[in-house]
Structure 1
Amino acid sequence: MGRHLQVQGVSEGDVVRYAIPKPEPLRVEHEQFRDAVLGFDADIVTMEQGLRTVLVAGACLESARTGSTIAIDT
């Protein structure tokens, strides 16, 4: 017959649990886009920031492919 391993839980002191709200990501994204279109403050990136991120990602891929350092214009 097979052996069975018995595992018991261990507790060390008091546990404090914090309730952290976790809004649905797609809903938050849509609400931020709506607010930006309406001219309200919105926590979204600018087109320039988005472009910069794409350029950096492309440079990372090129560097990984070639094994060389890729310079990005600032």
Structure 2
Amino acid sequence: DVYKRQMLALVSLSLGVLNLLPVPVLDGGHVLYYLIEFIKGSPLSDGIQNVGQQVGIAVLLLLMGLALFNDFSRLLG
């Protein structure tokens, strides 16, 4: 029972840290946008934010594809 709770806590902590990465789709990306807005004094344009979102989604999809490839190559090889 203690092992299950430790694993659950580890997964929860890992997801929280992953969510804070400065990728525009994740919460860390929103923090990055707010930081840029604070430094710049004005918000980024919608076009730049949309490009950032698209790049963030592409990066996440690439990472998921790489993880799946590694999992299947270890499983089959």
| TM class, shorter-length | 0.3 to 0.5
Structure richer in helix, relative to its length: 2
Q: Which structure would you say has the larger RCO, counting Cα contacts within 8 Å and 6 or more residues apart?
A: 2
TM-score scaled by length of structure 1: 0.33
The structure number with the bigger radius of gyration is: 1
